[in-house]
């Protein structure tokens, strides 16, 4: 009976803002997992709250680069300057990438790699309404703060929930949260956590060591990456992301320690790879010193896929329940800068309880 109910669930209609590397991972992942019934290799939840990944439908997409605007989404995700790996052949989606406003979407550094389309801007609110989009997913570059706020405004006016994957303070801003609450719409963010993310791994290591009686005294985590996002971060949001990451990591320890975490540099030949370096120093039994050095290497774009899949489906659950404003269980589970920083175990527990309410029919 439960399987029959799940099969009758409506699709989850989403609109993408920014057709960059994260969008490339999302679109490919939806196609890759759409025909999989049981094996969930590579994703945390193939089915979540009764929604399968195949229930997610992209109905609109916006960008500013002339190599993407006007093309089917299946082609645009592989257009320069994107450099995410091609995992699967994506058939035509029927979704044409539309021209959105530039605003602050292009920085001084990224002017070298982005070719702004000279086509007229579309009416974003009208497109969202006509496409039937329920959720707007903001995948703009980290430095596009005005553009992120602008799309949050359009999303709210069109009656859509908003997912802010960028470090711009929206879900964590009380004023924005209040406005979405007054509009009767869910809001989640800010700054999406990676599936194999340096921030999560750093926090987990620190919590584990602390629980085992180790007193961490100093620690850092620094990233080096290629790709447009790393290039933009280097110019415009390096300090912001460092502040967000450092605060998030510090919250993992029950005592004060010297903590530094954040992006540090851009290396072109890394392509879409990101290398993260962890260094931890502390004291353990009888005050003996310990030191740890770790290096993590991942493909940056692919890190967004699994987490975004969970976020999109749980935001749909929030819509089903007519929730409004910032939804803390989703924010704390999936974002580095939620409205309230919580320990990992508590965030996980809140998220699981949020899901179980849906699956139990509450």
CATH number at residue 273: 3.30.360.10
Q: Which domain holds residue 278?
A: 198-300
C-alpha span between 242 and 142 (Å, rounded): 12
The radius of gyration computed from the CA coordinates of the chain, to the nearest angstrom, equals 20
Given 300, 324, 346, which residue is the final one in a domain? Answer: 300
Of 279, 300, 321, the position where a domain reaches its end is 300
- Burial of 289 (C-beta count, 10 Å sphere; 0-12/13-18/19+): exposed
Do 45 and 141 share a domain, yes or no?
yes
Residues 355 and 341 in one domain: yes
Quick one: tokens of 93?
């989606």
Whether residue 173 is found in the same domain as residue 92: yes
- pLDDT for residue 9 is more than 70: no
| pLDDT, tens digit (0-9, with 9 covering 90-100), for 316-348 | 999 999 999 999 999 999 999 999 988 888 999
pLDDT digits (tens, 9 = 90+) for 42-51: 899 999 999 9
The pLDDT of residue 57 is 97
Q: Please state, for a pLDDT cut of 70, what percent of the chain lies above it.
A: 94
Task: Check which CATH number belongs to the domain holding 61 and give it.
Answer: 3.40.50.720
- Same domain as 91, residue 137: yes
- How many CB atoms sit inside 10 A of residue 174's CB? 11
Residues 20 and 165 in one domain: yes
**Residue 222, pLDDT score:** 92
Alpha helices in the chain (DSSP H): 2-7, 21-33, 73-76, 124-131, 145-157, 174-183, 198-211, 227-232, 238-250, 305-320, 328-334, 344-359
Residues 184 and 208 in one domain: no
Which of 62-71, 90-99, 161-170, 270-279 is least confident? 270-279
- Lowest-confidence pick of 58-67, 80-89, 201-210, 237-246: 237-246
pLDDT value for 266: 82
Are the beta carbons of 273 and 196 closer than 8 angstroms?
no
Same domain, 54 and 137: yes
Q: Would you state the pLDDT for residue 205?
A: 95
Nearest alpha-carbon partner for 180 in 348, 329, 351, 324: 324
Q: Based on the fold, state whether residues 48 and 114 are members of the same structural domain.
A: yes
Mean predicted confidence (pLDDT) in 31-44: 84
Domain boundary (275, 300, 325) is at: 300
Tell whether 227 and 330 lie within a shared domain. Answer: no
Number of domains in the chain: 2
Q: What is the mean pLDDT of the chain?
A: 91
Distance (Å, whole) CA 49 – CA 312: 11
Same domain for 34 and 136, yes or no, is yes
Question: What confidence category does residue 359 fall into, taking pLDDT thresholds of 50, 70 and 90?
Answer: very low
Residue 257, pLDDT above cutoff 50: yes
Examine the domain organization and report whether 189 and 338 are in the same domain: yes
> Could you tell me which residue, 39 or 285, shows the higher pLDDT?
285
pLDDT score recorded for residue 147: 96
Q: What is the pLDDT of residues 88-125, one digit of tens each?
A: 999 999 999 999 999 987 877 777 888 999 999 999 99
Task: Judge if 118 and 139 occupy the same domain.
Answer: yes
- pLDDT for res 125: 98
């Amino acid at each position: 009976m439960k399987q029959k109910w799940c099969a009758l669930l409506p699709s989850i209609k989403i609109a993408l803002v920014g057709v960059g590397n994260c969008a490339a991972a999302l679109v490919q992942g939806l196609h890759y997992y759409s025909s999989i019934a049981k094996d969930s290799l590579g994703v945390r939840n193939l089915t979540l709250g009764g929604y399968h990944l195949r229930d997610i439908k992209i109905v609109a997409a916006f960008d500013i680069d002339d190599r993407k605007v006007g093309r089917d989404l299946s082609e645009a995700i592989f257009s320069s300057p994107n450099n995410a790996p091609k995992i699967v052949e994506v058939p035509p989606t029927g979704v044409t990438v539309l021209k959105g406003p530039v605003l602050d979407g292009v920085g001084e550094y990224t002017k070298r790699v982005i070719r702004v389309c000279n086509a007229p801007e579309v009416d974003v609110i009208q497109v969202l309404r006509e496409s039937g989009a329920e959720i707007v997913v903001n995948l703009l570059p980290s430095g596009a703060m005005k553009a992120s706020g602008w799309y949050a405004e359009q999303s709210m006016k069109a009656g859509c929930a908003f997912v802010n994957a960028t470090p711009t303070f929206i879900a964590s801003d009380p004023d924005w949260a209040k406005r979405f609450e007054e509009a009767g719409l869910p809001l989640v963010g800010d700054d999406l956590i990676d599936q194999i993310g340096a921030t999560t791994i750093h926090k987990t290591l620190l919590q584990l060591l602390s629980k085992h009686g180790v007193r961490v005294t100093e620690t850092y985590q620094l990233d080096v990456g290629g790709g447009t996002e790393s290039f933009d971060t280097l110019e415009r949001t390096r300090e912001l992301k460092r502040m967000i990451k450092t605060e998030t990591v510090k919250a993992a320890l029950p005592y004060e320690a010297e903590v530094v975490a954040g992006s540090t540099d851009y290396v072109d030949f890394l392509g879409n790879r990101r290398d993260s370096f962890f260094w931890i120093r502390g004291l353990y039994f009888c005050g003996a010193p310990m030191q740890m050095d770790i290096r993590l290497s991942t493909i940056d774009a692919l890190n967004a896929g699994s987490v975004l899949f969970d976020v999109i489906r749980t935001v749909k659950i929030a819509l089903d329940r007519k929730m409004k404003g910032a939804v803390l269980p989703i924010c704390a589970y999936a974002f580095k800068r939620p409205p309230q920083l919580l320990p990992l175990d508590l965030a996980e527990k809140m998220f699981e309880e949020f899901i179980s309410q849906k699956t139990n029919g509450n």
